[in-house]
Structure 1
């Protein structure tokens, strides 16, 4: 029997073991990177399936030390997540480079351009060798259309970045004819910037609604209501309203830029103010308050930090974010304001009105000359109990060096029953006079 000749059978079809090893390592690395994304505080709100889908659209990129991940001014839009290495975020303004932050694994960059479709607002450089995941604007918005939580995530991220420092992602940008110079402050609902109005050659304050509120219908309505209220009143002792516009997927108000210090800052710096200075301030604020009340508007948040003493000697009542119209009954019943300066009826959630503002102004008048607040409790529950049981102090005993006339004005408005409050506006407004902001540095002058 003829022996069977050996055959050269073709090799079995399949992956090379080395390739399989590489694939396994790649899968392990992506799984580890996915775990890092899932722990990132802005991604934690996403369902695992949605995050997995986003991760599948991301492309891995590597950058050498000193290499630019993002260049300020470029139009390209994409979102990057650093998974290895460290980066440096900077902005260039007036020919100078300003360092915004150092960051490492888990850092997200590029969100500003992705959300606004504007050129890159900052540069990002690899401080060490960097590995990052990149998702294009097209892929991101496609996913966001099907999964609204992704859009909400991006706005929350942007809200966390803006207003935290003098220089942020908007600083140096020019839009709608305004050049952002610096961040002035950040509150619970908005961020305020000093900007140059290029057309009118003047400085203005731009009040931007926080991106974290873009999906909060009530907050958006309140922001628009504030704009409508300020637009309806015009008085030299109220920060003027110049207009509003939409940009960066949020709303902006254009306001008069008031350079100076708040009364809260003044008292923090030098303690109690001289009575002569307090009279001038109180007189100007009373002028503003009467004008607002005559227009059917109550402020509902009069306090030292909402009273600005400007460099030209005028005093401005600012921040009408919680203001309401007297005819709007549901609004005036809402529990809004700063608890420590609330009148008793406001703290208890009862109807409020013009006399609610009188109590707050009386509190400010007392604090300016005494250097202390009426209520001392630190938490809301204790404060509400203190307000509920509160009785007006013996002002003559507490402030023996203050004139009887001034104390009578304070006494007339610091009454527990709203109907019992009254103010001699002719008298108080006669006190209105320019103040010297520099005098706050020396309590002996006024």
Structure 2
């Protein structure tokens, strides 16, 4: 941890017109979560005392997403986008009374590492700018540095030939002492071509007030910003490559790494085996030694050691699989707990259910959990045997060591160790099949 307390300001107000979208730019997904979630996740490594997200375009959507990603964050509204300095001004009321380092991040810059943020937070200077050596400096602002630290940031359009030759450029990310930020933020002017308040002007204001400014550098890959759909696709490819490499390094077997897709928070234990074409949505934890067979989609679930899932299975939020559980092909599980040793072989839907240990769920079983208004729970006891094509009309309980006959519709609780059969009586009509088919063929010929 850093010595001084840390607060985060995440700038997330822009529309992102080059995305050609009705969504705010920071709401586009990368690694299964909105872009702004990556900035929040990186910043969380500093254990910030306060987090402020500045929203503008699509503020309601941003607020809803942030509430899920970082419930303690405060939303500041930038109703009119007048530059980065103006955005930070909107965040200042939420930092009243805070003393420490304020780090300004961007919701569309997802790859700033925790290590880089730690360097920014620990740096002793009152103003610290994150820079990088650009392979193609292009139109980035140049960082002019000497032995007295950072002298100024020169925008490309204002730079002479010598300044444009500088490869050290500005990422936009900054760290500032809270007291100094309060002192200077109101002094920003907008006497420039864009008529905006630039956060970068704080460097010269700080130096004029006798404070030192400095630069911390990182690799250019950390500063990748997202402005277009093409850049979003490139960022997704970069994110997935990193996630796959990290999983392999941590002892996870990926049968075909290029076909496995991770989310930002996917957690997989060592010696787990992941087959090809597996997609992880947010909120998945897989313990050591579990196996996910090919063509599965998992989101918001927990899978214990020794469990196997798939192929072609779907686990939805709230699915909890105990040790040595087997979930087979074309099985969907939602908001359900499966205790140790449960077997759900194929073609089954379990929703809002609790299945006791070592129960066996036959093919085609469905928990009928929704009445059109409310969801209802199904309880299946330990060592129960649910026959194929059983409809369990919730709320209902099947007791321990109980059984249901194949093709049953179960609408009442089944006591422990009982056999429940809920079928309509079978009636055979001699010769009717032949007569019916003949009549149908005759009707077809007449058309």
TM-score calculated relative to the size of structure 2: 0.26
